[in-house]
A and B are shown apart, each in its own frame.
Chain A
Amino acid sequence: MSAASAVSTAGYLARRAAQKERVRILYRRALKDTLNWAVHRHLFYQDASDLRERFEANKRVEDLDTIDRLIADAEASYNKWRHPDPYIVPWAPGGSKFTRNPTPPSGIEIIYDYGREDND
């Protein structure tokens, strides 16, 4: 194997790996968004299966540029249909409990002596 073909093989593999990662992350986001759009769990299962079929349909595409175009199209479509008010886990940024803290237990209190200390 010549050096040039080794370089191109490495380039091919790197590009394939990047594409695979993009597809995985796109599928993950799209699947979460499907759950956001579904009002009930039993509606989600059918939608998720449809989403999976749309990914499986292009499973055997070999041409790198075609794959890039397909991924770009899919990302555009994901961005177009993104949910305006997605579910966020309560503690996460944007969630309903984010930075909501309870009052401290009784016995722990702030003494307002405005910077003066006992021995001064």
Chain B
Amino acid sequence: MELDENPAFDLTSEFDPTGDQPNAIAELTAGLKRGDDYQTLLGATGTGKTFSISNVIQNVNMPTLVMSHNKTLAAQLYAELRNFFPENRVEFFISYYDYYQPESYIVPSDTYIEKDMAINERIDRLRLRATSSLVSGRDDVIVVASVSCIYGLGAPDEYASQIIQIKPGERVERDEFLHDLISLYYERNDIEFEPGTFRVRGDVVDIFPAYMADERRAYRIEFWGDEVDSISTFHPDSGKTLDEEEFLTIYPANLFVTSEDQLERAIESIEEELKWRLAVLREEGKLVEAQRLEQRTMFDLEMMK
């Protein structure tokens, strides 16, 4: 996706680089421009490493992943970088795995620990926003992440292909648009306007994406016949109009995007794998295991259908 105008990083600070910083910034910038794959900044505490790398990011203007090994530091980096780049997209991507007890099986004591999905909604929203910023095509994106960002998240193309883009004047049938929203996992709820839902009143459709919840912004699309008449952002609580929009991209309500097609293929391949695996287990005389697997998998398949 190409944007007409790709915003550049704009570092905001009342300070100029000083001490060792100008030197470090110049060297690291030169290294990146020269194409060095690896560089190391040996920065003593309090020498303003975050400020230096912020300058480097501004100089090279590349989307940047900042990885941290602990969540306290990640949170600190996120706060600092957000202060330095108020006009750009600074995002926070930390893990579910930090928040649920992973499913596991302890053999000697025959203990099975269920997956405890206490997914923090706020973490979820921040992750969704980070992913949305990345597929938006903008270059001025910094994602601060914990180490578990090396888990898979689904194909970026798939994610990007499942977005809705509209602008005023475009010919779109309202009902078709509603159908598209549902296929992006938005739920219609005309009574309670919550993150992840949309509501419909005649020709007016309001959408409240979860990734906008922090900013308390929602979208209002007004149709005129089979044409988009206007698009605006408004405050979901007060209903006050905030901005008129020339162009709107709506991202899926859920990070783990799967189309119906894919779902069907997935179910088929699971059934096939199950058949094969059950045969193996039974041949090995693992009858308890086979029964357990069959029961659990059938249950999951039921849920998927």
Is the pairing of A and B real? no
A: residues with CB less than 8 A from B are: none
Which B residues have a C-beta under 8 Å from some C-beta of A? none
